[in-house]
A and B are shown apart, each in its own frame.
Chain A
Amino acid sequence: MELDPRGQRFAATVTTVVLIVVLATGWGWLALAQAVVFAITAADPRRGPYASVYRALVLPRIGPPAEREPAAPVRFAQLVGFVFLAVAAIGYLSGVPALGVTFAAFGLLAAFLNAAFGLCVGCEIYLAARRFAARPIGS
């Protein structure tokens, strides 16, 4: 599967706004909703809610993409987002707001870096992790 990279930036922008609202209001149900959005998008990026909005409202105005990107890293990033927001939602909804704020804040950082600078934090961690994972025993 190949995706329009601008759709990913658009989704990151919407996510940034949503997470700012979550942090400003401590609204646990919104955090949960965002976690669900991440889960759906991880399962099928084309059926993601933000992707659908992008296709309906933004894409007709800007035309087809010059380049596409593979889906695998996008899905991985969405999965990471799901985990963080699920924990945040649990924190907010079970009366441990410190947990909610912390995990929502990390989610916001990743979404903001993606939206504003096109940086994919998960992708960067990947190679560094591989360096350590493949280290032979005893070295």
Chain B
Amino acid sequence: MDSVGLLAIAAVLVIGVVVGLWRRHTDGRFRPVRQVSGRIQVTGSAGEQSAVTGSAGERTPMTGSAAEQAAMDDSAVGERLDPAVLTALGVAPAEATLLQFSSAFCAPCRALRRVSTEVAAMVPGVQHIEVDAESHLDAVRALNIWRTPTLLVLDARGRVTKRSTGVPTKPQLIAALGDVLTA
């Protein structure tokens, strides 16, 4: 018996269980996005670079509790998406938008598409837009998309209010939309 090998086995199994359980915990959970008054823009035309420019607006958090603010997701802050970005992604105006970033060969993306389509059909005013991440890499970088599927919940003004990776359950998704639609 190789004692170094046995140690490696133990380490791998512990790490594997921790990583697996953590991923299972975060999958499908919606994280609120801090609201700011600036704008996400994705500038780019032939020959130019894609970049994110945001006007340094005042940060006006939507909730007052310090703990909630600490838990907010600072990536892809809730700036209003430039209308050009939205049209480029195929997003028409709606009360709430489920913007899903998918990639090819992604089974959870298909599952999320099913859940989102059902919810969008059930709840009036909600549209589901699915975007191929690889065809929109500038938007992927501007919005800090790292995994697929990533689902962004946009409000009527096109601001990112919540996001989740992985596949939420239908009740979780409806609950996440509830805040946006009643706001």
Stretch at the interface among B16-24, B84-92, B117-125: B16-24
Contact surface of A with B, Cβ cutoff 8 Å? 5, 20, 22-26, 67, 69-70, 72-73, 97-98, 101-102, 104-105, 108-109, 112-113, 116-117, 119, 123-124, 126-128, 130-131, 134-136, 138-139
Number of B residues contacting the other chain (C-beta, 8 Å)?
Answer: 34
| Residues A26 and B2 in contact in the complex (CB < 8 Å), given A69-B105, A124-B147, A127-B103 | yes
Q: Considering the chains assembled together, what is the distance between the CA atoms of A117 and B51 in angstroms?
A: 37
Residue in B5, B140, B141, B145 with the greatest tally of chain A CB atoms within 10 Å: B5
Q: Considering the chains assembled together, what is the distance between the CA atoms of A136 and B15 in angstroms?
A: 36
Q: Does B106 contact A (CB under 8 A)?
A: yes
Q: Does B1 contact A (CB under 8 A)?
A: yes
Q: Considering the chains assembled together, what is the distance between the CA atoms of A69 and B55 in angstroms?
A: 44
Secondary structure dominating the interface of B: helix
Chain B window 15-36, contacts with chain A (Cβ cutoff 8 Å), 1 for yes, 0 for no: 1110110011000000000000
Q: Which 4 A-B pairs have the closest CB atoms?
A: A117-B20, A23-B5, A26-B2, A105-B8
B11 close to A127 (CB less than 8 A): no
B118-160 contacts to A, CB under 8 A, are: 133-134, 137, 140-141, 145-148
B5 close to A5 (CB less than 8 A): no
A136 close to B5 (CB less than 8 A): no
A109 close to B15 (CB less than 8 A): yes
Secondary structure dominating the interface of A: helix
Some 29 contacts from A to B, beta carbons below 8 A apart, are A22-B5, A23-B2, A23-B6, A23-B8, A24-B1, A24-B5, A69-B107, A70-B104, A70-B105, A101-B5, A105-B8, A105-B9, A105-B11, A105-B12, A108-B8, A109-B16, A113-B16, A113-B19, A116-B17, A116-B20, A117-B20, A117-B23, A117-B24, A119-B20, A119-B23, A123-B105, A127-B133, A127-B148, A139-B49
Nearest chain-B residue to A76 (Cβ)? B105
Q: Considering the chains assembled together, what is the distance between the CA atoms of A108 and B103 in angstroms?
A: 26
